[in-house]
Amino acid sequence: MLIFLSVMTAVLGTLAAYLGLRLIPAGWSTSARLWAWAAIVAVVLVQPASFVVRFVLHKEVVGDALSWLAYVAMGLLLLLLSFTLLRDVGWLAGRLARLLPVDPERRQAMLELTNLGVFALTAGTFGVGLVRALARPTVVDVSVPIAGLPAALEGFVIVQISDIHIGPTLKRPFLTTVVDIVNALHADLIAVTGDLVDGSVEELGRHTDVLGKLSARHGAWFVTGNHEYYSGVEQWVQEVRRLGLTVLIDEHRVIEHGGHRIVVGGVADYTAAGMMPSHKSDPHAAMRGAPADAAFKLLLAHQPRSAFEAAKAGFQLQLSGHTHGGQMFPGNLLIHLVQPFAAGLHVHEGMHIYTNSGTGWWGPPLRTTRTPSEITRLTLTRA
CATH code where residue 158 lies: 3.60.21.10
Whether 229 shows a pLDDT value over 90: the answer reads: yes
Q: What is the per-residue pLDDT for 154?
A: 97
pLDDT band at 328 (very low <50, low <70, confident <90, very high): confident
pLDDT band at 333 (very low <50, low <70, confident <90, very high): confident
DSSP notation for 54-102: IIIS--HHHHHHHHHHHHHHHHHHHHHHHHHHHHHHHHHHHHHTT-S-S
Q: What is the per-residue pLDDT for 112?
A: 87
Q: Residue 350: which domain range?
A: 139-382
Judge if 172 and 256 occupy the same domain: yes
Q: Is the dihedral of CA 73, 75, 78, 84 positive or negative?
A: negative
> Average pLDDT, stretch 192-205?
95
Judge if 68 and 50 occupy the same domain: yes
Whether 153 shows a pLDDT value over 70: the answer reads: yes
> Average pLDDT, stretch 154-162?
98
Average pLDDT, the chain: 93
Whether 105 shows a pLDDT value over 90: the answer reads: no
Judge if 238 and 272 occupy the same domain: yes
> Average pLDDT, stretch 319-332?
90
Judge if 367 and 228 occupy the same domain: yes
Between CA 305 and CA 194 the distance in angstroms is 14
| Strand residue runs (E) in the chain | 138-146, 157-161, 189-192, 220-222, 246-247, 251-257, 260-266, 296-300, 317-320, 344-348, 351-355, 374-382
Judge if 19 and 155 occupy the same domain: no
Whether 245 shows a pLDDT value over 70: the answer reads: yes
Percent of the chain past pLDDT 70, that is, above it, reads 100
DSSP notation for 201-226: HHHHHHHHGGGGG---TT-EEE---H
pLDDT, tens digit, 9 for 90 and up, residues 44-65: 999 889 888 877 777 888 888 9
pLDDT band at 1 (very low <50, low <70, confident <90, very high): low
Between CA 351 and CA 300 the distance in angstroms is 13
Judge if 201 and 286 occupy the same domain: yes
Q: Of 133, 155, 173, which one is at a domain's C-terminal end? A: 133
Percent of the chain past pLDDT 90, that is, above it, reads 80
Whether 230 shows a pLDDT value over 80: the answer reads: yes
- Under a CB-based contact definition with an 8 Å cutoff, are residues 246 and 220 in contact? yes
Domains identified in the chain, total number: 2
pLDDT band at 8 (very low <50, low <70, confident <90, very high): confident
> Average pLDDT, stretch 277-303?
96
pLDDT band at 100 (very low <50, low <70, confident <90, very high): confident
Judge if 74 and 12 occupy the same domain: yes
pLDDT, tens digit, 9 for 90 and up, residues 11-27: 999 999 999 999 998 88
Between CA 78 and CA 332 the distance in angstroms is 13
Judge if 174 and 127 occupy the same domain: no
Find the range with the poorest average confidence among 1-5, 44-48, 126-130: 1-5
Between CA 57 and CA 288 the distance in angstroms is 46
pLDDT band at 345 (very low <50, low <70, confident <90, very high): very high
Nearest to 265 by CA among 240, 285, 239, 237: 285
